[in-house]
Amino acid sequence: MENEVLKISNFSAGFGQCAILRNINFSVFQNRVTAIMGPSGCGKTTMIRCINRMHELSPAAYYSGEILLHGQNIFSMDPIIVRRRIGMVFQRPNPFPTMSIYDNVISGFILNGMKLKKEQKDQIVVNSLKKVGLWEEVKDGIYRRGTFLSGGQQQRLCIARALAMDPDVILLDEPTSSLDPKSTLMIEQLLEELKQTTTIVIVTHNTAQAARIADYVAFLYLGELIEFGPAKKIFTAPENKKTEEYLTGKFS
């Protein structure tokens, strides 16, 4: 039996007059990679931004329905707490340019004004960097600015930053779309390892990527959830004709 971490039910969202998501229902299971895929403009990014309540930071944003995190509605929780428990990695690597690599990793604690002991900090930094395979590459220059790293390294630094907070779920919004194939592969392998300890939701418009890493797939089209299920089933025997057309490249 799969352990349900997130349950999204009857969820709709949008900006002002413009509805982007309509009546979405699916679940995210523990230690699994759930991929949200679909063509551009289908609402993937809005969906993932709703899960850690980043969506409502935009002006005129609205939402309705429920998202349950371990059975608790996130919209009745403090958004600050929600965002600490649900980490996020963005489309383009965005380490803090004013901070060193070290400070970037523990930036979640710095930003929240949490005071940690030096040993605690060191431990978190080393562990997080080791988890994302960046430790060997940066250990000699850990007090250098994070922006001197390559794009792929920066993105792994951003994942380490999210991991440092020990979140229940990590959301990744097309994390490899601005990276080269080699860095992409590295991040995909990394996600495989990370799902042992955490739960991952990834947005991708790349069906091949979804096929490589996802355990569950949610297919969105024009703001509606067309199909949700185990990745094997979706990729081999999709129930919906639209899903099949998308997977076979009839539209994108």
| Stretch of residues binding another protein (CB under 8 A), selected from 7-15, 51-59, 184-192, 213-221 | 51-59
Q: How many residues bind another protein (CB under 8 A)?
A: 30
The verdict on 247 binding another protein (CB under 8 A) reads no
Q: Are 167 and 128 in contact (CB under 8 A)?
A: no
The CB-side HSE value for 21 (13 A sphere, CA atoms) comes to 31
Pairing of strands 33-37, 61-69: unpaired
Q: Are 220 and 37 in contact (CB under 8 A)?
A: yes
The verdict on 52 binding another protein (CB under 8 A) reads yes
CB of 72 to another protein, least distance (A): 16
The verdict on 158 binding another protein (CB under 8 A) reads yes
Choose which of 5, 6, 125, 162 interacts with another protein (CB under 8 A). 162
Using alpha carbons, select from 69, 146, 59, 68 the residue that is nearest to residue 106: 146
CB of 145 to another protein, least distance (A): 8
The verdict on 96 binding another protein (CB under 8 A) reads yes
- Rg value, the chain, Cα: 18
The verdict on 97 binding another protein (CB under 8 A) reads yes
CB of 57 to another protein, least distance (A): 6
The verdict on 160 binding another protein (CB under 8 A) reads no
Choose which of 1, 40, 76, 113 interacts with another protein (CB under 8 A). 113
* C-alpha distance from residue 63 to each of 20, 49, 78, 200 (Å): 10, 11, 16, 23
